[in-house]
C-alpha cells in the first residue's frame, strides 16, 4: 500500500471527519485498519507531541490500566524497545509480541505475559504513530489466544500505516479542540506518594480525573487515575517534562506534576486545569503548522498589541503582519483576530 505519510486515504479521512469524540475516532481507526490487519481488540493511545506524555486513550476489548501504566513507565525509563521511542529508533515503527505459551514468544516479559494471559490475548502488534520525526501515539492491536499470531508480512504492512495513522490523529485533534475548557471547575490537585499510591485529591481533582478516563462510568480507580500516575512518574525523572496537554470534548486541559517543595517524602502533586494560552500555543503551532514568526505575531496579539505595535516590535510592515494573521486564520479555521484570541485564551 504505497501512500505518502502526509496523505490520509479518502475512506479514512471521510470516516474520521464524522467523529466527534476520541472514542468514536478510535472505533473508526480500528474498523479501517481491520481490513488490512484483522484484530480482536485495540488500544489507541495519543501522546502530547511536544513532551511525549500520554494525553488520551481509547480502546475496545483491550488491556486494563495496568498495561498502559506499565507502558508509560517503560517509555519514561527507556527500558523497553517496544515503546514508541524504541520503535522510532528501530528499523521500522512496529513491534509484534506473542504470549509465552505461543509457539514463538517474542520479547514478552513475565509481567506482560501475565497481562496477556489475564485477557486471553495470544498476539499483540504495536504501531508507533510517527510523522515528521515526531510521535503522535501508538496503536496496539490484539488477537485472541488460539488465533493466528501477527506475521512478519503483516508487520511490514503495518509499518506503511504509521505515518497515515499519525496524520489522522493530528488532523482529528486539530479539527476539534482549539480552545481551553470552558465552564470548567477550579483547578484540581491529586497527591501521589513514592509508592505511586494516590493519597489525596481535592473534590475538583477527582472531577477533572473523571474526564480523563475512557468509559469513566464503569472505570475503577486504576482506570481513572492512570494519566495521573503516568505524569507523576515523569516528575520523578530529571530531563522528563511532566506536562501533558489533553484534548477533551469541550476543550483542552493540562496535567502538570512536580515534587512537593520542602519535603523528602517523594510525594508528587499533580495539578489539572484548563490549558492556558502559553501552554496551548506551542501545541497549536505543531498541530496547525504555524511558523515561528506566525507564533510570535500571535503572542503579541494575545498581549493586546495592535497591528501597528506588532509591526513596530518585529520591525516588519503592517502588510506582513496582516499576512501572518491571515495565514494563521486559514490554518486554524478561525475567521478573525477576536476569534483567534478567544480560542486560545482562558
pLDDT tens digit string along 33-67?
A: 999 999 999 999 898 999 988 888 889 988 877 77
Same structural domain, 130 and 209 = no
Nearest CA-CA partner of 124 in 141, 136, 112: 141
Instruction: Report if residue 283 sits inside a domain.
Output: no
Same structural domain, 211 and 149 = no
For the whole model, what pTM was predicted? 0.86
Question: Rounded to whole angstroms, how far apart are CA atoms 283 and 107?
Answer: 34
Same structural domain, 71 and 210 = no
Among the three residues 257, 278, 299, which one is the final residue of a domain in this structure? 278
Instruction: Report if residue 2 sits inside a domain.
Output: no
Same structural domain, 134 and 111 = yes
pLDDT given for residue 312 in this prediction: 96
Same structural domain, 248 and 143 = no
Contact criterion met (CB below 8 Å) for 231 and 191: no
Q: Residue 44: enclosing H or E segment and its boundaries?
A: strand 41-47
Structural domain harbouring 158:
10-176
Contact criterion met (CB below 8 Å) for 344 and 280: yes
Question: Rounded to whole angstroms, how far apart are CA atoms 133 and 108?
Answer: 27
pLDDT given for residue 103 in this prediction: 45
Instruction: Report if residue 4 sits inside a domain.
Output: no
Among the three residues 233, 255, 278, which one is the final residue of a domain in this structure? 278
Same structural domain, 153 and 251 = no
Instruction: Report if residue 93 sits inside a domain.
Output: yes
Tens of each residue's pLDDT in the chain, 346 residues? 434 456 789 889 888 888 888 889 999 999 999 999 999 999 998 989 999 888 888 899 888 777 766 666 666 666 666 777 777 776 689 989 887 665 444 567 777 778 888 888 899 999 999 998 899 999 999 999 889 999 999 999 999 999 999 999 999 988 766 677 777 889 999 999 988 889 999 999 988 988 776 555 455 666 778 788 888 888 888 777 899 999 877 788 999 999 987 556 789 999 999 998 899 899 989 999 999 999 999 999 999 999 999 999 999 999 999 999 999 999 998 999 999 998 887 6
Same structural domain, 87 and 161 = yes
Same structural domain, 248 and 169 = no
Number of domains the chain is built from:
3
Same structural domain, 166 and 106 = yes
Amino acid at each position: 500500500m504505497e501512500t505518502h505519510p502526509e496523505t490520509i486515504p479518502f475512506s479514512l479521512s471521510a470516516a474520521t471527519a464524522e467523529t466527534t469524540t476520541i472514542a468514536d475516532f478510535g472505533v473508526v481507526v480500528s474498523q479501517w485498519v481491520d481490513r488490512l490487519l484483522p484484530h480482536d481488540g485495540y488500544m489507541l493511545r495519543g501522546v502530547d507531541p511536544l513532551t511525549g506524555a500520554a494525553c488520551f486513550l481509547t480502546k475496545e476489548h483491550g488491556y486494563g490500566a495496568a498495561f498502559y501504566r506499565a507502558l508509560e513507565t517503560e517509555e519514561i525509563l527507556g527500558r523497553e524497545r517496544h515503546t514508541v521511542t524504541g520503535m522510532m529508533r528501530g528499523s521500522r515503527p512496529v513491534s509484534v509480541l506473542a504470549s509465552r505459551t505461543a509457539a514463538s514468544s517474542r520479547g514478552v516479559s513475565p509481567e506482560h505475559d501475565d497481562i496477556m494471559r489475564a485477557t486471553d490475548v495470544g498476539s499483540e502488534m504495536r504501531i508507533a504513530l510517527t510523522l515528521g520525526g515526531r510521535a503522535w501515539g501508538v496503536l496496539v492491536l490484539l488477537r485472541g489466544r488460539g488465533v493466528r499470531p501477527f506475521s512478519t508480512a503483516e508487520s511490514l504492512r503495518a509499518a506503511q500505516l504509521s505515518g497515515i495513522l499519525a496524520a489522522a490523529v493530528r488532523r482529528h485533534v486539530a479539527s476539534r479542540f482549539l480552545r481551553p475548557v470552558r465552564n470548567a471547575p477550579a483547578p484540581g490537585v491529586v497527591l501521589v506518594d513514592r509508592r505511586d499510591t494516590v493519597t489525596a485529591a481535592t473534590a475538583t481533582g477527582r472531577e477533572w480525573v473523571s474526564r480523563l478516563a475512557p468509559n469513566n462510568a464503569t472505570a475503577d480507580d486504576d482506570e481513572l487515575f492512570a494519566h495521573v500516575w503516568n505524569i507523576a512518574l515523569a516528575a520523578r525523572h530529571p530531563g522528563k517534562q511532566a506536562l501533558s496537554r489533553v484534548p477533551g470534548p469541550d476543550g483542552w486541559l493540562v496535567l502538570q506534576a512536580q515534587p512537593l517543595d520542602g519535603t523528602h517524602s517523594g510525594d508528587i502533586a499533580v495539578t489539572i486545569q484548563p490549558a492556558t494560552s502559553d501552554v496551548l500555543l506551542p501545541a497549536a503551532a505543531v498541530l496547525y503548522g504555524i511558523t515561528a514568526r506566525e507564533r510570535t505575531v500571535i503572542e503579541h496579539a494575545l498581549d493586546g498589541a495592535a497591528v501597528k505595535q506588532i509591526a513596530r516590535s518585529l520591525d516588519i510592515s503592517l502588510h506582513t503582519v496582516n499576512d501572518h494573521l491571515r495565514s494563521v486564520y486559514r490554518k486554524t479555521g478561525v475567521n478573525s483576530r477576536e476569534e483567534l484570541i478567544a480560542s486560545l485564551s482562558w
